[in-house]
């Protein structure tokens, strides 16, 4: 048992091979570009959603202040505002959910690549590096730990366990 990490899986339980074959390095660049593009696509839609919700708030304030000339005008304005917010929220949700698939594929790929480069002794398999995101409560810490190990192993595969520091960028990413 490792003295540094009491909760680490015993060495006999650590699986270093997948389906009986060695890990093979495959470039994660294409998946990274897809994820990056989808995240950048989310930014303008999210900004539009924020603007639409701000407009909706103003409409609600006008309704509370009885600022509309008629009930029909009030209903038409409120309905139009609701539809715009609903469409933008739906687009944001779909694009956000759609981003999770290539992001999970990227995490799996880089976890496999770290092993292909010669790193051994991870706490999690590549599948669980992705799977922790879907486990309630554990998803608050375990994905970060898996990504931290992948990051360290990607820079120094043979001595990754001796390296204790990760760049602040990883911590900022997790905080965000």
Count of beta carbons in the 10 Å neighbourhood of residue 10: 8
- How many domains are contained in the chain? 2
What predicted TM-score, i.e. pTM, was given to this entire model? 0.75
- φ, ψ dihedrals at 169, nearest 5°: -55, -40
Average pLDDT of the residues of the chain: 87
Average pLDDT (101-129) is 91
Query: Whole domain around residue 57: which residue ranges?
Result: 28-102
Question: Of the residues 72, 102, 132, which one is the last residue of a structural domain?
Answer: 102
**Residue of 146 and 16 predicted with greater confidence:** 146
Q: Is residue 22 part of a domain?
A: no
Give the residue-averaged pLDDT of 144-154. 89
DSSP 25-61: ----HHHHHHHHHHHHHHHHHHHHHHHHHHHHHHHHH
Domain annotation covers residue 13: no
pLDDT of residue 155: 82
Q: In this structure, is residue 159 part of a structural domain?
A: yes
Whether residues 123 and 159 share a domain: the answer is yes
Question: Is 131 a member of any domain?
Answer: yes
Taking only the tens place, the pLDDT of each residue in 33-66 is: 999 999 999 999 999 999 999 999 999 999 999 9
Predicted local distance difference test score (pLDDT) of residue 20:
47
Mean pLDDT of 10-15: 52
- CA dist 57 and 175 (Å) reads 29
Confidence of residue 10 (pLDDT cuts 50, 70, 90): low
Mean pLDDT is lowest, of 8-17, 74-83, 123-132, for 8-17
Same domain for 64 and 40, yes or no, is: yes
Least confident of 82-86, 96-100, 141-145, 169-173: 169-173
Contact (Cβ atoms closer than 8 angstroms) between residue 120 and residue 16: yes
Does residue 43 form part of some domain? Answer: yes
Q: In whole angstroms, what is the distance from residue 154 CA to residue 82 CA?
A: 47
User: Does residue 88 fall inside a structural domain?
Assistant: yes
**In the prediction, which pLDDT does 129 show?**
93
What's the pLDDT band for 121 if we cut at 50, 70, 90? Answer: confident
**Do 96 and 137 belong to one domain?**
no
Residue 107 lies in a domain: no
Token output for 91? 């687009």
In this structure, is residue 50 part of a structural domain? yes
């Amino acid at each position: 048992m490792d003295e540094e990490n009491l909760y680490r899986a015993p060495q006999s339980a650590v699986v270093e091979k997948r389906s009986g074959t060695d890990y093979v390095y495959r470039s994660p660049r294409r998946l990274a570009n897809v994820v990056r593009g989808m995240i950048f696509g989310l930014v303008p839609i999210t900004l539009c959603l924020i603007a639409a919700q701000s407009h909706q708030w103003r409409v609600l304030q006008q309704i509370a202040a009885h600022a509309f000339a008629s009930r029909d005008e009030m209903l038409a304005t409120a309905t139009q505002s609701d539809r715009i917010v609903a469409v933008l929220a739906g687009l944001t949700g779909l694009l956000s959910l759609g981003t999770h698939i290539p992001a999970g594929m990227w995490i799996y790929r880089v976890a496999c690549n770290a092993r292909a480069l010669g790193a051994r002794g991870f706490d999690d398999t590549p599948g669980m590096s992705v799977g922790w995101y879907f486990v309630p409560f554990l998803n608050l810490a375990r994905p970060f730990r898996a990504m931290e190990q992948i990051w360290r192993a990607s820079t120094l595969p043979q001595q990754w366990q001796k390296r204790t520091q990760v760049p602040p960028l990883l911590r900022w990413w997790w905080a965000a």
